[in-house]
């Protein structure tokens, strides 16, 4: 067979465009009539938030490449200029579709349920009087209009904040005639106001702050006449840069960088669609942006603000049914988690199973007089974390508490800086991992004296130690007192807190040292089995696949006859279904009620099936620039649990599944005459009743 060049760009999908395709799938949930109405509104808002972050990080990175003249192309051979053009085209389509869904579908459907987003044209006389009072009492005192003249140049505009540009006629008290003014909507004010029913006439009527300011903008300019008032918002590059080779204190360096994030380079301008061309051009000039960076919207410039509506409306019939996560039976039968773990591992599948056992694990360790030491990695924790409080209690009780906090967890940097300070104040040892490598591994290690020996208990996870996201992200966590795994985790903590060469691990795989190499070897082993005419199979579930070497290994395995199923929620740069290359590879994405976050890797391995869970995706950053863990699932019960419920159930899903086509687009699976199968609903039914 003629050799195939597996580096040809036609075999790779662009990473940024693949991420935008994921956001398109999220937006489709907002259009799906089988999804409860308020959840559809949430999906619309999530698609808006996702797009914000895309521009802040991914598009901003491409902008920087163009700015500095980079012509370097990735595996897909697209230049930064070409990528920016495609981003603009696709993002404009997405934004137009978002507002079409809002205005033509969701607002009318909400109105039928007596949930109204009232525009100014819909205010009755009583409502208008109430809004006038609200504006004067609550809004006007905190507004600071800025007229543009030589003494008042164009102000610094905060990232993603709501502003208005107002055109004016006439002169002010000092005889100035500027023609333009800027009004910032204070961040201290709610963007959505719940109108009193006695004035609006409905139980759930809402007014946007932008509408309130717009209706009363003349009060800000006495003696002058506003001839136009147009909302706008700027998105800026939010990827912090710290030269880790030059800094001597990472915490101080990040503290210095955080304020600059609010005023870094602009990458997108959103304006109201009724904004005149000359005004939008003026704004583009102020932010050094081009036409491709302008997004004209028919509605609020920040759709994510509408997320408040599901929180303020008490309509259980319009949201997903509530559920109580299962507590594994073995844990409910015993109050002592250490006794339970000595009888075998416990696998937790969130959100279908409770996050509480992980909190109890640390709490019991903090209170147990036989526990000598607790070590934990923290990436994102959320506010008022019960886990953090348990670690503080352990430190106050005199136990050795070591916490590895990743300060560079994107958008959680400030929270993690404060967390580090709080833990240090109670006597915990706090370190920030390894310079140049994000600590993304999820690990807890408890060392307990039992008789004459010390025993290690561990938790390893695929997701963050965050109780709230554990209710909406699907993740796995393994609780174990396996001696070898405990020793491996102990070595990993020594790596993170001390100095010296990486110790050889017996069971765990680790980035940046062994994980990438071992994944390539296991894929190659399946290819060899297939070439020999034996059964070979790879199933991998993850958030993203971008690594070129792994993609090439999968292509080679496919060409050898290995059956490969990939369940990839977001980015996939591999192109399936290419004749002679990837005909044996099928890629699907599940987008549903819960955010799919588990990373699971299965290899048939000549019948001796190997199964791993991991904190790492198959991305270059996870495999080479982060500290990650990948842990084997060896006991039969948890192995069967994952194979049946995290792999086969997702491969048979015909409700929330999308199939990646060879052109990079996704086609939604249609059930046809098949029995409806939703993997997430199957898990809810199995664990939660």
The Cα 549–Cα 559 span in angstroms is 15
Which residue is listed with tokens 């404060």? 418
Residue 335 burial (10 A CB sphere; 0-12, 13-18, 19+): exposed
**Is the separation of the CB atoms in 545 and 617 below 8 Å?**
yes
* First-last CA distance in the chain: 53
Q: Is the peptide bond before 512 cis (omega within 30 degrees of 0)?
A: yes
Structure tokens at 649: 């159930």
Name 235's bridge partners. 268
Q: Which of 204, 349, 440, 459 is catalytic?
A: 440
CA distance to 548, 568, 586, 635, per residue, from 589 (Å): 20, 5, 10, 28
Residue 377's nearest CA partner among 497, 487, 475 is 497
Structure tokens at 438: 């994000």
Does the annotation count 440 as an active-site position? yes
Half-sphere exposure of 224 toward its Cβ, with a 13 Å CA cutoff? 25
Distinct helix (H) and strand (E) counts, the chain: 23, 27
**Is the separation of the CB atoms in 539 and 644 below 8 Å?**
no
* Whole-angstrom Cα Rg for the chain: 27
- 597 known member of a binding site: yes
Long-range contact pairs involving 529-534 (C-beta distance under 8 Å, separation at least 24): 529/562, 529/604, 529/606, 530/557, 530/560, 530/561, 530/562, 531/560, 531/561, 534/606
- 380 known member of a binding site: yes
- 569 known member of a binding site: yes
Q: Is the peptide bond before 110 cis (omega within 30 degrees of 0)?
A: no
Q: Which residues are catalytic?
A: 440
Binding residues: 50, 380, 410, 473, 569, 597
Binding residues for Mg(2+): 380, 410
Binding residues for ATP: 50, 473, 569, 597
């Amino acid at each position: 067979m003629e050799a195939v060049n597996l580096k040809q760009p036609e075999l790779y999908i662009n990473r940024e465009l693949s991420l935008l395709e994921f956001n398109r799938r999220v937006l489709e949930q907002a259009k799906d009539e089988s999804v409860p109405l308020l959840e559809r509104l949430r999906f619309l808002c999530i698609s808006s938030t996702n797009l914000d972050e895309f521009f802040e990080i991914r598009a901003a990175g491409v902008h920087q490449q163009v700015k500095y003249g980079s012509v370097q192309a990735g595996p897909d051979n697209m230049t930064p200029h070409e990528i920016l053009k495609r981003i603009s085209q696709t993002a404009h389509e997405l934004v137009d579709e978002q507002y079409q869904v809002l205005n033509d579908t969701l607002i009318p459907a909400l109105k039928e349920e007596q949930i109204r987003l009232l525009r100014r044209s819909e205010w009755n006389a009583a409502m208008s009087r109430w809004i006038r009072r609200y504006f004067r009492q609550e809004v006007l005192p905190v507004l600071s209009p800025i007229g543009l003249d030589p003494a008042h140049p164009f102000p610094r505009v905060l990232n993603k904040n709501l502003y208005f540009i107002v055109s004016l006629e006439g002169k002010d008290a000092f005889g100035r005639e500027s023609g333009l003014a800027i009004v910032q909507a204070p961040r201290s004010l709610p963007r959505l106001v719940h109108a009193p029913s006695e004035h609006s006439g409905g139980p759930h009527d809402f007014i946007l702050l932008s509408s309130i300011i717009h209706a009363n903008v003349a009060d800000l300019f006495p003696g002058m006449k506003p001839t136009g008032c147009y909302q706008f918002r700027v998105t800026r590059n939010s990827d912090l840069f710290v030269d880790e080779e030059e800094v001597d204190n990472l915490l101080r360096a990040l503290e210095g960088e955080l304020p600059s994030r609010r005023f870094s380079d602009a990458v997108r301008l959103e304006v109201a669609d009724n904004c005149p061309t000359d005004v939008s051009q003026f704004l583009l000039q102020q932010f050094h942006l081009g036409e491709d960076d302008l997004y004209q919207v028919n509605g609020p410039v920040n759709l994510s603000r509408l997320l408040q509506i599901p929180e303020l409306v008490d309509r259980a019939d319009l949201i997903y049914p509530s559920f109580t996560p299962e507590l594994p039976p073995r844990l409910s039968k015993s109050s002592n988690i250490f006794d339970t773990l000595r009888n075998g591992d416990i696998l937790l599948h969130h959100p279908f199973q409770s996050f509480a056992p992980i909190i109890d694990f640390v709490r019991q360790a903090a209170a147990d007089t036989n526990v000598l030491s607790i070590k934990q990695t923290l990436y994102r924790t959320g506010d008022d974390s019960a886990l953090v409080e348990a670690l503080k209690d352990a430190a106050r009780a005199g136990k050795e508490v070591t916490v590895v906090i990743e300060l560079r967890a994107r958008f959680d940097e400030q929270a993690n800086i404060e967390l580090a300070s709080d833990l240090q104040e109670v006597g915990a040892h706090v370190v920030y991992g390894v310079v140049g490598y994000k600590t993304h591994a999820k690990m807890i290690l408890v060392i307990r004296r039992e008789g004459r020996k010390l025993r290690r208990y561990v938790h390893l996870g695929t997701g963050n130690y965050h109780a709230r996201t554990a209710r909406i992200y699907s993740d796995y966590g393994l609780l174990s007192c396996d001696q070898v795994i405990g020793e491996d985790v102990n070595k990993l903590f020594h790596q993170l807190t001390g100095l010296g060469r990486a110790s050889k691990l017996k069971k765990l795989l680790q980035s940046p040292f062994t994980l990438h190499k071992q994944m390539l070897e296991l894929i190659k082993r399946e290819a060899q089995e297939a070439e020999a005419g034996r059964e070979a199979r790879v199933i991998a579930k993850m958030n993203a696949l971008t690594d070129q070497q792994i993609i090439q290994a999968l292509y080679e395995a496919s060409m050898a006859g290995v059956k490969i199923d990939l369940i990839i929620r977001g980015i996939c740069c591999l192109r399936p279904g290419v004749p002679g290359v990837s005909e044996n590879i099928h890629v699907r994405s599940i987008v549903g009620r819960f955010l799919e976050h588990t990373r699971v890797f299965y290899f048939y391995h000549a019948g001796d099936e190997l199964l791993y869970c991991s904190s790492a995706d198959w991305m270059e950053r996870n495999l080479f620039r982060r500290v990650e863990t990948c842990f084997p699932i060896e006991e039969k019960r948890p192995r069967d649990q994952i194979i049946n419920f995290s792999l086969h159930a997702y491969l048979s899903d015909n409700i929330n599944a999308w199939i990646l086509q060879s052109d990079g687009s996704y086609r939604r699976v249609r059930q046809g005459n098949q029995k409806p199968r939703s993997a997430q609903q199957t898990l809810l039914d199995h664990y939660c009743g």
